[in-house]
């Protein structure tokens, strides 16, 4: 059977990101590693299996945040434990929250770096690409227009 370690690496980084065993020892690299592994997973799923997760609005937003984190500035996250009633089970009892300010900075960076001046020969093509990406993200995240 073929080994696809990139899938294992992605799920391991997901587990590390929301690991309750080490909740008091927050790993500052966990989110960065997860976002990079998600990016790598998307590339390899498309290349190896023709499976394209890159068109998913969630992926698009996380890619924008990853690129901001990778090229521009830090992305700080907040961890929140969910309290649940007895005999109620959730897959995860911890939520990771990226502040709206960071999401806004990430989207602004994406727009600023993805567009060129109006006189540039690629102006319309780049404007269409950025507009399309934001429109797709907006289908899942109603607050996207508020951020813009």
Per-residue confidence (pLDDT) for residue 69, from 0 to 100:
94
Divide the 148 residues of the chain into consecutive groups of 10 and give the mean pLDDT of each group.
84 87 78 94 94 94 95 86 71 78 94 93 95 93 81
| pLDDT tens sequence across 50-91 | 999 999 999 999 999 999 999 998 998 887 777 777 776 665
pLDDT of the residue at 111: 95
- The model carries a pTM of 0.85
Expressed as residue numbers, the domain containing 44 is 5-147
Residue 78: burial class (beta carbons within 10 Å; 0-12, 13-18, 19+): exposed
Q: Would you state the pLDDT for residue 96?
A: 82
Q: H helices of the chain, where? A: 5-17, 30-49, 57-71, 100-114, 123-140, 144-147
* Number of domains forming the structure of the chain: 1
């Amino acid at each position: 059977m073929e080994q696809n370690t990139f899938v294992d690496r992605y799920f391991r980084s997901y587990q590390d990101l929301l690991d309750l065993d080490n909740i008091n020892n927050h790993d500052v690299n966990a989110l960065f590693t997860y976002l990079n592994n998600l990016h790598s997973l998307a590339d390899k799923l498309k290349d190896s299996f023709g499976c394209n997760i890159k068109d998913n609005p969630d992926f698009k937003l996380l890619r924008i945040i990853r690129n901001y984190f990778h090229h521009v500035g830090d992305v700080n996250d907040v961890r929140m434990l969910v309290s649940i009633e007895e005999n109620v089970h959730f897959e995860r009892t911890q939520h990771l929250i990226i502040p709206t300010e960071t999401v806004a900075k990430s989207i602004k960076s994406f727009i600023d770096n993805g567009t060129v001046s109006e006189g540039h020969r690629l102006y319309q093509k780049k404007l269409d690409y950025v507009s399309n990406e934001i429109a797709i993200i907006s289908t899942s995240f109603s607050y996207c227009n508020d951020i813009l």
